[in-house]
Chain A
Amino acid sequence: MDDHLPVLVQRVLSGDVEAFANLVACLRPRFSRYALQMLGNREDAEEALQDTLLRVYRRLATCRDPALVDAWAFRILVNRCRTARARLIRHDRRHPLAVPGIPEPGVEHPARGQAWREEIDRALARLPDDQREAFLLRHVEELSYAEMAEITGAGVSALKMRVMRACESLRRALDGARDA
């Protein structure tokens, strides 16, 4: 957690709207990764993240602990991604197979690495939403099960089961693909 996040929160709450730009810049990288991996395409991820950040701004005064504003905001993001997924399902859209990861400038991706990434995205896309969510929160965002339970509203046992099943599915789907 960035030490200066509480300071930014206080500045925004005292009327310094430009401080919110700094807060957004701090939250965006991690939030972008989760939205991209959870939703699987850039357009929906951008929409979910933009919606999340606007809600963060509107409700910032309700954040009881400014030191934990990133966790508080992340919960909003998880909910927005759930809403986005529900909307996608309602419209019967297939989970895109596009590569959600955006390469960093200057980092080369050999064809072999790209193929591996695409295999990952396909495997992630095939997971049920609740398993993908639990897997990403646990192993990519590295939250504790207690934090996950607070964010998702699910019980710890159920979350552990989802994570375990997700790991099994991903391992089965990706075994052999890495060295192919």
Chain B
Amino acid sequence: MPDADRPVDPTLAALLRELRRPADLGPALDTRVMALVRAERWFRKPGFRRRIRVTCVAAAAILVVAVWIARDGPGGSVQFAIDAPSAGSITLVGDFNDWDPSGTPLQRGPAGRWVVDLALKPGRYRYGYLVNGHTWMADTRRPATPDPDFAEPTSLLTVQE
């Protein structure tokens, strides 16, 4: 390539012969670049951001359900128990089941102990036991409170946060 400013000086000509030699950083660079490009391409795929949003919403929903289950599950459950070896049936009646006399039966266990587990949200509950379908009993293990709405005292349960 003839050119007016092309070096004709022998030193510069020798310099250019050296500088024009191949000097390659090598194919390892290609590997690194392609790894970055493939990763970037995946993130930039059409619809990727929409899929991410959907995934986040689904994950949030799952998290909410999991927390809800945890609150109502074994960790938030309360065991009601009463020792009544001679009883034929016992039901739990209170604020948590709208005072339904047959809604929450207790199960008889060894040595005449009747038990039932309920998942309760934090709060304050009044309750009692209905023995054999007609005898009202307060829970002797918890404080009782006189209730103007009922002739018999009821037990008081506070479920903490």
In the complex, what residues of B have CB within 8 A of residue A102's CB? Answer: 22-26
In the complex, what residues of B have CB within 8 A of residue A116's CB? Answer: 14, 18
In the complex, what residues of A have CB within 8 A of residue B16's CB? Answer: 139-140
Of the listed residues A33, A42, A160, the one surrounded by the most CB atoms of chain B closer than 10 A to its CB is: A33
Interface contact A54-B37, CB-CB below 8 Å: yes
In the complex, what residues of B have CB within 8 A of residue A163's CB? Answer: 5
Complex CA gap A104/B27 in Å reads 13
| Among B23, B34, B41, contact of A101 (Cβ-Cβ < 8 Å) | B23
In the complex, what residues of A have CB within 8 A of residue B6's CB? Answer: 139
Interface size on A, residues (CB 8 A): 43
Closest chain B CB from A108 CB (angstroms): 13
Interface contact A37-B23, CB-CB below 8 Å: yes
Shortest Cβ distance from B6 into A: residue: A139
Interface contact A32-B11, CB-CB below 8 Å: no
Does A111 have its Cβ within 8 Å of any Cβ on chain B?
A: no
Which stretch from A3-11, A63-71, A81-89, A167-175 is at the chain B interface? Answer: A167-175
Does A78 have its Cβ within 8 Å of any Cβ on chain B?
A: no
Interface contact B29-A178, CB-CB below 8 Å: no
Tell me the interface secondary structure of chain A in the complex. Answer: helix
Interface contact A139-B37, CB-CB below 8 Å: no
Closest chain A CB from B19 CB (angstroms): 5
| Per-residue contact bits, chain A 123-157, to B (CB 8 Å; 1 contact, 0 not) | 10000000000001011101000000000000000
Does A95 have its Cβ within 8 Å of any Cβ on chain B?
A: no
| Per-residue contact bits, chain B 20-45, to A (CB 8 Å; 1 contact, 0 not) | 11111111011011101110110000
In the complex, what residues of A have CB within 8 A of residue B34's CB? Answer: 20-21, 24
Interface contact A28-B30, CB-CB below 8 Å: yes
Contacts known (A100-B23, A175-B11); A57 close to B30, Cβ less than 8 A? no
| Among B15, B29, B37, contact of A49 (Cβ-Cβ < 8 Å) | B29
Does B66 have its Cβ within 8 Å of any Cβ on chain A?
A: no
Complex CA gap A50/B26 in Å reads 12
In the complex, what residues of A have CB within 8 A of residue B5's CB? Answer: 138, 160, 163-164, 167
State the 3 A-B residue pairs at the shortest beta-carbon distance, nearest first. Answer: A32-B25, A33-B23, A101-B23
